[in-house]
């Protein structure tokens, strides 16, 4: 026990020294002053901290108040990543993002999975009951139930009032032109990622990386401008679809190519699909035959055989070849379809489409020279362009004389129609091979990547032969008054079960216009066409040639080619000495 006297004595001394007794406590004045100062400092500091915290919270709330609310409750997802618009050369929209609702569920909040599915099936009858049941019973925090709903479906589901269901706003691709440009523009999958056509090309150029990093913001993505003209594209697609029906072909296609720049102005292949509802896009007959289909191009390849012979210097327009008798090599006999059974000049070999004459032109050049020329013009090389769907041409592993002879008139190698058009453009534009592009390009830009493949003289001679063939040969059906069209037919027997069929043809026509200064190539194809009427033939002149004429007639003015009727007296546009 502490003694009481010393304690009382100490209290007395404190009071004597100036301390005060307040509410039963002894307070020393100096200590109170010191303690009061420190307390005020702590209070001020505490207030400052709390003020800072509440200011931050208030600022964040103000910021969020100006943002679009996400009422879905679902997590952020890369599926909403934006894509740039795709437009034609005139700015017409070919593909754009639109908002759509997707249905999700939070299984932990689902009370009765069976009841929820029964209600949902009244709006979505196609829903998989078993799969959906397992999702709702999984106990997960979030599962997708149905992506990309229509506004009516979303409204109807909301009216069901099912607890644990919600909607998330996503982006999906919309294609205003529908099937008109489906093979060129391409498709995206349900996650808005490009899987074909120019949509896939755009992803391969870095868009997918931007999306993954969250930098693909809609306002920062500039439209991708294509080379195609939607007006011309509509004409081309309409004509090939009509031609396929009219000639009862299993497929048809066409391309319009700018000779001076290599720009694809339009390209279509049917059967095709609607990219807004691509339920049949994976069917085996849905193939972009112009760039991904391989065909023996028939007599259109005689354009290259004749150009090769002329460019070699071993043959001139005055040269003659004996086509009076068939050529026999091994077990094969080479005939002419409409043989003249006489010696033919080079122009006659071309306009009569003589197999015998073409074979002898190839013999004059030689096997190695023949192969080298076709590779030089890109006919047997895999084409370099933006479109991902490009097939690699085929050729014999070892060229023998029989190969060179048959290839001379279009059998024995397979290439794409688009490559054939590109090679023919080189024969028309002064001899420059320009790889095709689906993006806009100037003539200066094209010439910076062009390769000189034939001489100016060879190109001039081929322009003469194309014009002559339209006047006197198989190209007469492709003539269009005022537009000075030249061209070459190609009727190739198809290989069926290892043999050439007499009943199934692959027909093509390549046209150039205007022949006084060629600006455009139009190449059309018809796969296994039938005669339009009983007693008529089904050769390229009667179907592919007619399709080319219709395309030129309807689109030439859109392409900026003015009609000129000064040559309508039947005279050829290039003199032949």
Distances (CA, A) of 447 to 443, 444, 462: 6, 5, 21
Which of 485, 429, 476, 465 shows the shortest CA–CA distance to 309? 465
Beginning with the edge strand found earlier in the chain, give each strand of the sheet holding 486-496 in spatial order.
264-270, 251-258, 520-527, 499-513, 486-496
Phi, psi (5° rounding) for residue 151? -55, -40
Residue 73 has which token pair? 């409750």
Tokens of 543: 């179907």
Known catalytic residue at 82: no
* Cα 305 from Cα 436, distance rounded (Å): 22
Q: Which of 299, 354, 461, 542 is catalytic?
A: 299
Phi-psi region of 155 (alpha: psi -120 to 50; beta: other; left: phi over 0): alpha
Matching residue, tokens 């304690």: 7
CA dist., res. 413 & res. 380, Å (int): 8
Q: Quick check: helix, strand or coil at residue 46?
A: helix
User: Coil, helix or strand for 530?
Assistant: coil
Bond before 271 cis per omega within 30 degrees? yes
Q: At what angle do helices 302-311 and 456-472 cross, to 10 degrees?
A: 140
To which H or E segment does residue 319 belong?
none
Which pair of structure tokens corresponds to residue 514? 């205007």
Contact 375, 433 (CB under 8 A): no
The number of beta carbons lying within 10 Å of the beta carbon of residue 165 is 21
Compute the distance between CA of residue 534 and CA of residue 35 in angstroms, rounded to an integer.
117
Measuring CA to CA, how many Å separate 318 from each of 308, 310, 339, 427, 573? 15, 10, 20, 19, 18
């024969």: which residue's tokens? 427
Q: What angle do CA 373, 411, 324 make, to 5 degrees?
A: 95
Task: Please state the φ and ψ torsions of residue 509, each to the nearest 5 degrees.
Answer: -140, 130
- Which residues are known to be catalytic? 299
């Amino acid at each position: 026990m502490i003694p009481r006297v010393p304690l009382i004595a100490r209290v007395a001394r404190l009071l004597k020294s100036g301390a005060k007794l307040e509410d039963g406590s002894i307070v020393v004045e100096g200590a109170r002053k010191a303690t009061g100062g420190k307390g005020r400092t702590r209070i001020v500091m505490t207030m400052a901290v709390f003020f800072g915290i509440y200011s931050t919270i208030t600022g964040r709330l103000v910021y969020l108040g100006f943002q679009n609310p996400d009422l879905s409750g679902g997590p952020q997802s890369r599926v909403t990543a934006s894509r740039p618009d795709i437009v034609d050369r005139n700015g017409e929209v070919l593909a754009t993002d639109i908002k759509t609702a997707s249905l999700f569920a939070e299984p932990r909040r689902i009370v009765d999975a069976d009841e929820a599915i029964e209600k949902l099936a009244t709006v979505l009858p196609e829903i998989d009951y078993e799969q959906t049941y397992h999702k709702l019973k999984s106990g997960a925090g979030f599962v997708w139930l149905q992506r990309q709903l229509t506004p009516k479906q979303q409204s109807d589901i909301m009216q069901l009032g099912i607890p644990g269901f919600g909607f998330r706003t996503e982006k999906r691709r919309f294609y205003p032109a529908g099937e008109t440009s489906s093979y060129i523009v391409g498709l995206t999958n349900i996650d808005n990622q490009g899987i074909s056509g120019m949509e896939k090309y755009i992803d391969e150029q870095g868009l997918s990386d931007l999306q993954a990093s969250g930098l693909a913001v809609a306002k920062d993505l500039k439209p991708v401008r294509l080379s195609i003209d939607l007006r011309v594209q509509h004409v081309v697609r309409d004509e090939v679809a009509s031609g396929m029906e009219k000639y009862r072909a299993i497929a048809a296609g066409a391309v319009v190519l700018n000779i001076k720049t290599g720009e694809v102005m339009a390209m279509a292949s049917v059967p095709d699909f609607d990219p807004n509802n691509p339920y049949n896009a994976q069917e085996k007959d849905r193939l972009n035959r112009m760039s991904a289909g391989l065909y023996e191009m028939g007599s259109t390849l005689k354009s290259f055989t004749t150009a090769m012979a002329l460019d070699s210097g071993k043959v001139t327009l005055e040269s003659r070849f004996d086509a009076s008798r068939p050529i026999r090599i091994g077990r094969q006999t080479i005939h002419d379809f409409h043989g003249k059974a006489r010696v033919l000049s080079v122009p006659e070999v071309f306009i009569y489409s003589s197999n015998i004459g073409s074979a002898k032109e190839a013999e004059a050049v030689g096997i190695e020279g023949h192969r080298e020329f076709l590779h030089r013009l890109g006919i047997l090389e895999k084409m370099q362009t933006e479109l991902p769907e490009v097939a690699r041409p085929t050729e014999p592993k070892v060229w023998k004389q029989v190969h060179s002879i048959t290839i001379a008139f279009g059998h024995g190698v397979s290439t794409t129609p688009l490559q054939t058009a590109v090679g023919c453009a080189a024969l028309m534009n002064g001899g420059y091979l320009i790889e095709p592009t689906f993006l806009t390009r100037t003539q200066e830009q094209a010439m910076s990547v062009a390769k000189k493949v034939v001489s100016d003289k060879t190109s001039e001679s081929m322009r003469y032969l194309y014009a002559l063939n339209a006047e006197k040969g198989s190209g007469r059906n492709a003539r269009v008054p005022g537009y000075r069209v030249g061209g070459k037919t190609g009727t190739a027997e198809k290989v069926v079960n290892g043999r050439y069929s007499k009943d199934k043809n692959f027909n093509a026509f390549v046209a150039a216009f205007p022949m006084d200064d060629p600006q455009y190539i139009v190449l059309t194809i018809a796969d296994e066409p039938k005669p339009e009427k009983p007693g008529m033939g089904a050769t390229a002149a009667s179907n592919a040639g007619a399709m080319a004429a219709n395309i030129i007639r309807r689109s030439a003015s859109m392409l900026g080619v003015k009609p000129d009727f000064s040559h309508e007296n039947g005279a050829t546009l290039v003199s032949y000495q």
